[in-house]
Amino acid sequence: MSLSGRDLTIGYSDRVVGRSLDVALEQGEVLALLGPNGGGKTTLLKTLLGILSPQAGEVAIGGRSLASISIRERARLIAYVPQVHNPTFAFTVESVVLMGRTAHGNLFSRPSAHDRTVAARTLEQFGIAHLASRPYTMISGGERQLVLLARALAQEPQFVVLDEPTASLDFGNQGKVMREIRALAKAGHGVLFTTHDPNHALRAADRAYLLRAGERVAEGAVGSVLTREQLEELYRAPVEKLTDSASGHAAFLPG
Amino acid sequence: MTRPFLPGLGVALGVLVLGLIVAFTVGRYPVTLAELVDVIWSRATGGQPTAPAAVENVVLLVRGPRVVAAVLVGAALAVAGTAFQGLFRNPLVSPDILGASSGAALGAVLGIFFSLGVVGIEGLAFLGGLVAVAAVYVIGSFLQSRDPILVLVLTGVVIGALLGAGVGLVKYLADPYNQLPAMTFWLLGSLAAITVADLLPLLGPVALGTAVLLALRWRINVMSLPDDEARALGLATGPLRIAIVAAATLVTSASVATSGIIGWVGLVVPHLARALVGPDFPKLIPTAALLGGGYLLFIDTIARTAAPVEIPLGILTAVIGTPFFIWLLAGMQKNWS
């Protein structure tokens, strides 16, 4: 199954953000979306999720048009991990993860025993089962990101779409989230994430999609797309490349 | 530190039962607890009460309707406030945020202005609340925005101000000796004039709206997330928002039409309930209903017994609500950044 956008014009009612965008994501692979602020990353992401309708072109999942799929069925195919935010109410971690089961029940249903089992299993999977009864407002940013990941997996989706999953995390938690992203792909999910750090794309993604001012600058395997020249063109800023002589791994520094 | 549900619900139930006992026994004609139990027991079993007929009259005809109305109105306002706080993702929202009270106020003063009688006044107040919220909703939906919730609230504020001007105009034109005092009294809120006949028009809408909100309680949890997130979780937020607003408005308009404007209950009680059982709406809604009923019962008992004349309910709830609100704002800097 693949999630794809063909010849997309994306944007809001009052303005077009990007045109003629083609993007495809297969199950089992990780695609990183990079580009400067205001370049259309979040808009493209929301269009692929079905939160925004494309102004032209079509988003399809498994050969079916996303527009023809009900919002409930969509949530069982694609899960969204938003940026970590401060919630209004102090729901427990378990309640937050149970919300991931919304699409598996009807409008009036309460979480079933099976729903609770799935929620407990995903909490276990991310090593945060001990947080289950803690208020979501009283845990750290890194823990919240893991809770949101657990909630996404509780949807039992085929695809997981993450908006800047490493943005507000400390160094150690950034690494943890990237490892979890790899694990999701290994378990057969198609994963799409946006990031401001090309090193995170190098680390966690198979392919990279570079977006600037609503246009695709480049797309391909991270090794071939994420070069110093390409990044300098993408961000219009000088970039330095470092290579570790022992492992051969590369990393980029801005400026 | 999750808060256990049943003990919290028990506390709320305890407040309600205590409120019932106090409301029935305290007053210008004191009734003892034994007499109260006797009257209710004999009514329930169809026997003959041993208490004097005057006691039976006080319990069943004088205090009975007023007590029932206080419980229903308090519960209704608390449930509506709880639902709106979730829907608008803001713990400082009250049930009249979308103009239900201002619409009801305009309906009521118009009813008084045209001397329509009690049924006409209450009917117009009820309709006024519904029409005002419907207007806010329709106008808010026409204004395209990426933040539909914010637009809805701002539209509510604007329409509320316009309706307030309408109320002012009607009061200005009203007969200052008969109509104006009636309007002022109505706008301050009171349960003094409640009769048995008022209870059914109140019970119907309150029961219907509360039943809808209770049925949707698990989904209201998800509705308290940002709109994008709720939709990505598989919830058609648009139709569900209409259902929740309609149910909460039905409940609020019926209450306001019966009791006049009683502020603060729908704001304060959800917080007390949240302190008891936490923010989970399936637990919060029944707790808020019990607590709201008990709360307004205590307030109403104070209103009719504390002074030689009745104190308007709206004044009492404000006197208690304001310091509470300030305390809430102080705590908010810590908890809801």
pLDDT exceeds 60 at position B63:
yes
Mean pLDDT, residues B278-298 taken together: 95
Q: List CB contacts (< 8 A) between A69 and chain B.
A: none
pLDDT of residue B117: 85
Q: What tokens does B162 get? A: 């316009």
Nearest residue in chain B measured CA to CA from A50: B232
Three-class secondary structure of residue A3 per DSSP? strand
Domains of chain A: 2-254 (3.40.50.300)
Mean pLDDT, residues A149-156 taken together: 96
Radius of gyration from C-alpha coordinates of chain A = 18
ipTM surpassing 0.95? no
Distance, first Cα to last Cα, chain A? 40
pLDDT exceeds 80 at position B1:
no
Residue B216 Cα, gap to closest chain A Cα (Å): 5
pLDDT of residue B332: 62
Residue A130 Cα, gap to closest chain B Cα (Å): 12
Pairing mode, strands A159-162 and A78-81 = parallel
Q: Do the Cβ atoms of A102 and B279 come within 8 Å?
A: no
Mean pLDDT, residues B260-276 taken together: 91
Q: Do the Cβ atoms of B89 and A88 come within 8 Å?
A: yes
Q: List CB contacts (< 8 A) between B86 and chain A.
A: 89
Question: Does the CB of B157 have a partner CB in chain A at under 8 Å?
Answer: no
User: How many alpha carbons lie under 13 Å from residue A91 in its C-beta half-sphere?
Assistant: 25
pLDDT exceeds 90 at position B325:
no
Mean pLDDT, residues A114-129 taken together: 95
Which among A79, A88, A133 has CB closest to B90? A88
Q: What tokens does B60 get? A: 């069943």
Instruction: Name residue B332's beta-bridge partners.
Output: none
| CATH 1.10.10.10, applies to B5-335 | no
Higher-pLDDT residue of B172 and A15 is B172
Which among A85, A88, A99 has CB closest to B233? A99
* Interface residues on A facing B, Cβ-Cβ cutoff 8 A: 12-14, 46, 49, 51, 71-76, 78-80, 82, 85-92, 95, 99-100, 102-103, 105, 107-111, 133-135, 137, 151, 155
Report pLDDT digits (tens) over B104-142.
Answer: 999 999 999 999 988 899 899 999 999 999 999 899 888
Alpha carbon distance B245, A79 (integer Å) = 28
Report residue B286's pLDDT band, with 50, 70 and 90 as the boundaries: very high
Q: List CB contacts (< 8 A) between A85 and chain B.
A: 226
Residue B257 Cα, gap to closest chain A Cα (Å): 30
Which among A78, A80, A88 has CB closest to B91? A88
Domain ranges in chain B are 5-335
B292 burial type by CB count under 10 A (0-12 exposed, 13-18 middle, 19+ buried): buried
Helices B64-87 and B196-215: crossing angle in degrees, nearest 10, is: 30
Q: What tokens does A84 get? A: 């970590």
Q: Do the Cβ atoms of B279 and A134 come within 8 Å?
A: no
pLDDT of residue B336: 45
Report pLDDT digits (tens) over B177-227.
Answer: 999 999 999 999 999 989 998 899 999 999 999 999 999 999 999 999 998
User: Which H/E stretch holds residue A30?
Assistant: strand A30-34
pLDDT of residue B118: 85
Higher-pLDDT residue of B174 and B1 is B174
Mean pLDDT, residues A243-251 taken together: 91
Mean pLDDT, residues A92-106 taken together: 94
Report pLDDT digits (tens) over B185-196.
Answer: 999 999 998 999
Question: Positive or negative, the Cα torsion across B33, B38, B40, B41?
Answer: positive
Which among A49, A89, A103 has CB closest to B224? A89
pLDDT of residue B330: 79
pLDDT of residue A98: 96
Which among A102, A109, A110 has CB closest to B234? A102
Alpha carbon distance B217, B232 (integer Å) = 19
Q: Do the Cβ atoms of B218 and A51 come within 8 Å?
A: no
Alpha carbon distance A137, A247 (integer Å) = 40
- What percent of chain B lies above the pLDDT cut of 90? 66
Q: Do the Cβ atoms of B279 and A75 come within 8 Å?
A: no
Higher-pLDDT residue of B161 and A108 is B161
Mean pLDDT, residues A86-107 taken together: 92
pLDDT of residue B270: 94
Question: Does the CB of B276 have a partner CB in chain A at under 8 Å?
Answer: no
Q: Contact at 8 Å (CB) between A167 and A129? A: no
Q: H helices within B1-63, ranges in order?
A: 5-25, 33-45, 53-57
pLDDT of residue B243: 95
Residue A76 Cα, gap to closest chain B Cα (Å): 8
Residue A79 Cα, gap to closest chain B Cα (Å): 7
Mean pLDDT, residues B26-39 taken together: 90
pLDDT of residue B316: 93
Which of A173-177, A188-192, B13-17, B87-91 is predicted with the least confidence, judged by mean pLDDT?
A: B87-91
Report residue B161's pLDDT band, with 50, 70 and 90 as the boundaries: very high
Report pLDDT digits (tens) over A66-96.
Answer: 999 999 999 999 999 998 877 889 999 999 9
pLDDT exceeds 70 at position B334:
no
pLDDT of residue B337: 33
Q: Contact at 8 Å (CB) between B230 and B244? A: no
Which among B89, B144, B219 has CB closest to A107? B219
- What percent of chain A lies above the pLDDT cut of 90? 86
